[in-house]
Amino acid sequence: MRIAYFEPLTRAWERMKLILWRPFDLAKWLVLGFSCWLAGLADGAGGGGWKWIVDEEDFPGRFGRCNGWMSHEEIGNALVWLPLAFILIMAIAAILVLVLWVSSRAKFIYLDNVVHNRAEIVEPWNRLRTLGNSLFLWRIGFIVVCGLVAMVLLLVFFAPAATFSFTDALAGLSYAAMIFGVIVLICFGIIAGFVALMLEAFVIPIMYKFDLKATEAWNYLLPWLKYRPGHFVLYALLVLGLVFVFAAIFAVVCMLTCCVVALPYVGTVILLPLWVTYRIWSVEFLTQFDPEFDLFTMAELPAAAE
């Protein structure tokens, strides 16, 4: 079986032009861009570190002022801040979970719009809720597992090393352990990123095509991953390369538009041709492994104009 990489990308580009340009419909473009924006809402979620962590002078009740012990006044201040910190953390966690849930449902809405060459939100939101909820639960579990593994690795490699001082005889071993820990964390991050890419690129279309839960869709994909791992690894490397190309394009467009393209939703609409092409590419690539998987039909997507 011959597996191509750029031919599916070329077909994806042609399908994108049919969807967005033939004919051009601004209302359709905006709605499709909105579904695309919702689908990617949780993919880049993150934030900076707390100022208290890096600036201990501003942390209420910090250690070290009284020979490593807090005074009664400092303990009281800390107790005042703890409930507020807990409420804030719970509120942020609830918002992130809500964003993940909306994003999981929207991924199928966006795929459904691309496949059927239309732009709808309400109808597919209700129709695809079972698939979206299954994806949401799988993503929550994946995030929790990744977090726990990362915590274990940090405890194993960094916590013991932190107990040694610069003059300790075992300091060299502690530094070696931290370096090894960094390498292990990087490897784990690569594996987690690969799993996330397979989920986005292939598992979601499989769920959509066969109306499967997330775990069932993974069972559908795993035999291909097992017997043809090189093809999927190469696909991931090509995606990584295109990420750098996209970053360069984004930087240029950002400068030309005075950072308007960096605005939420607005940037997605401006760069919608790239996002639609990327969404179609993985579907076209996966069709090579099983022709029955093809999500597109001539009835749903008219032939390109000569």
Per the CB < 8 A criterion, the answer to whether 135 and 202 are in contact is no
Provide the 10 A C-beta neighbour count for residue 262. 13
Q: Is residue 221 part of a domain?
A: yes
φ/ψ (deg, to 5) at 257:
-105, 15
Q: Is residue 216 part of a domain?
A: yes
Confidence (pLDDT) at 196: 94
Confidence of residue 192 (pLDDT cuts 50, 70, 90): very high
Q: Is residue 237 part of a domain?
A: yes
Mean pLDDT across the stretch 111-136? 94
Whether the predicted pLDDT of 57 surpasses 50: no
DSSP single-letter state for residue 259: T
Q: How far is CA 263 from the centre of its chain?
A: 18
What is the spatial distance between Cα 225 and Cα 195, in angstroms, rounded to a whole number? 11
What is the spatial distance between Cα 137 and Cα 140, in angstroms, rounded to a whole number? 5
Whether the predicted pLDDT of 37 surpasses 90: yes
Confidence of residue 164 (pLDDT cuts 50, 70, 90): low
Q: Is residue 304 part of a domain?
A: no
Per the CB < 8 A criterion, the answer to whether 210 and 286 are in contact is no
Whether the predicted pLDDT of 137 surpasses 90: yes
- The region of weakest confidence among 80-94, 144-158, 192-206, 288-302 is 288-302
Confidence (pLDDT) at 176: 72
Q: Is residue 166 part of a domain?
A: yes
Domain span holding position 25: 6-43+70-293
Q: Is residue 181 part of a domain?
A: yes
What is the spatial distance between Cα 139 and Cα 145, in angstroms, rounded to a whole number? 10
Alpha-carbon distances, residue 277 vs 8, 106, 272, 293 (angstroms): 10, 17, 8, 18
- Top-confidence residue, 71 or 291: 291
Per the CB < 8 A criterion, the answer to whether 39 and 110 are in contact is yes
Q: Would you say the C-alpha torsion 152, 214, 199, 139 has a positive or negative sign?
A: negative
| pLDDT tens digit sequence for 96-111 | 999 999 999 999 999 9
- Top-confidence residue, 48 or 20: 20
| pLDDT tens digit sequence for 246-265 | 888 888 888 887 888 788 88
Whether the predicted pLDDT of 155 surpasses 50: yes
Whether the predicted pLDDT of 51 surpasses 60: no
Number of structural domains, the chain?
1
Query: Two tokens at 243?
Result: 């990420």
φ/ψ (deg, to 5) at 22:
-125, 80
Which residue has tokens 């939101």?
Answer: 125
Q: Is residue 224 part of a domain?
A: yes
What is the spatial distance between Cα 279 and Cα 5, in angstroms, rounded to a whole number? 14
Q: Is residue 113 part of a domain?
A: yes
Neighbouring residues of 208: CB distance < 8 A, sequence distance ≥ 6: 108, 111, 112, 115, 128, 131, 295
